[in-house]
Amino acid sequence: MMEIENWMKQYCGAVRAAFGDRVRYIGLQGSRGRGEAGPDSDIDVVCILDSCSLQDLETYRAAVKDLPDRDKLCGFVSGTAELAAWDRGELFQFRRDTTDWCGHLADLLPPEEPGDARRALHQGACGLYHLCCHNFLHGRSREAVAEACKAAVFLLQAKLYAEQGLYCRRRSDLEQHLTGQDLEILQTAQALKAGECREDLTALTDRLFAWCRDVIGQQKAI
């Protein structure tokens, strides 16, 4: 298993060597940031520069090209101004799923507003609803709807926060607070991640589509 602490130190050194004091922030997201990673998990790194141009992206690519496990590196790169003006719904999850490594993310983000969690939930449910429809009609990809089920976990986190003011970063903690359809979606996502789900395209789509439809309807009623 990768030693993420050592890897991040190498990453920070490479990026700082390339950009110097233009680096405003570095953080770690995703399963590695939560301590839930498997051997093939991506390395979701957040890198915020004072500003970001296409040339900066080229410089970034060159800076990280020789890092170990380069093929697993992904994440978010931007300038400070763009991040500060980012969609508030997306920032709801972003600010909670990022572990600080260099700097403080909170210093770069606008203050959170009460409706941010519901915005994240509503936007996400609409997106997954459309994906279910499009994929069932045209793509017919079980893998696509399986990935959508996994993405729905982030919406479950936003839903729990919007309804109860509680945020659970780890899936194991989240499971303890869910019931009904919400719990079914999480358990499906967990089974898919573990390679233990044998349900077909129709069954997976039916479950996720119904959940998204209900979530969207609930938001309209508020």
Q: How far apart are CA 182 and CA 206, in angstroms?
A: 14
Task: State pLDDT tens for residues 178-217.
Answer: 999 999 999 999 999 999 999 999 999 999 999 999 999 9
In the block, residue with structure tokens 């800076």: 63
Secondary-structure class of domain 4-108 per CATH: alpha beta
Domain ranges across the chain = 4-108, 116-221
Q: How far apart are CA 110 and CA 172, in angstroms?
A: 30
**Cβ atoms within 10 A of the Cβ of 170, count?**
11
According to the model, what pLDDT value does residue 88 have?
Answer: 97
Task: State pLDDT tens for residues 111-120.
Answer: 999 999 999 9
With contact defined as beta carbons under 8 Å apart, do 143 and 118 qualify? Answer: no
Task: State pLDDT tens for residues 41-80.
Answer: 999 999 999 999 999 999 999 999 999 999 999 999 999 9
Mean pLDDT of 152-164: 98
Mean pLDDT of 144-150: 96
According to the model, what pLDDT value does residue 111 have?
Answer: 97
pTM value? Answer: 0.92
With contact defined as beta carbons under 8 Å apart, do 170 and 34 qualify? Answer: yes
Long-range contact pairs involving 20-24 (C-beta distance under 8 Å, separation at least 24):
22/49, 22/50, 22/51, 23/47, 23/48, 23/49, 23/102, 24/48, 24/49, 24/50, 24/80, 24/103, 24/108
With contact defined as beta carbons under 8 Å apart, do 29 and 45 qualify? Answer: yes
Q: Name the band, by pLDDT with cuts 50, 70 and 90, for residue 39.
A: confident
In the structure encoding, which two tokens stand for residue 108, read together? 């770069």
- Considering the chain, what is the average pLDDT of its residues? 96
According to the model, what pLDDT value does residue 221 have?
Answer: 59
With 60 as the cut, is the pLDDT of residue 222 above it?
no
With 90 as the cut, is the pLDDT of residue 89 above it?
yes
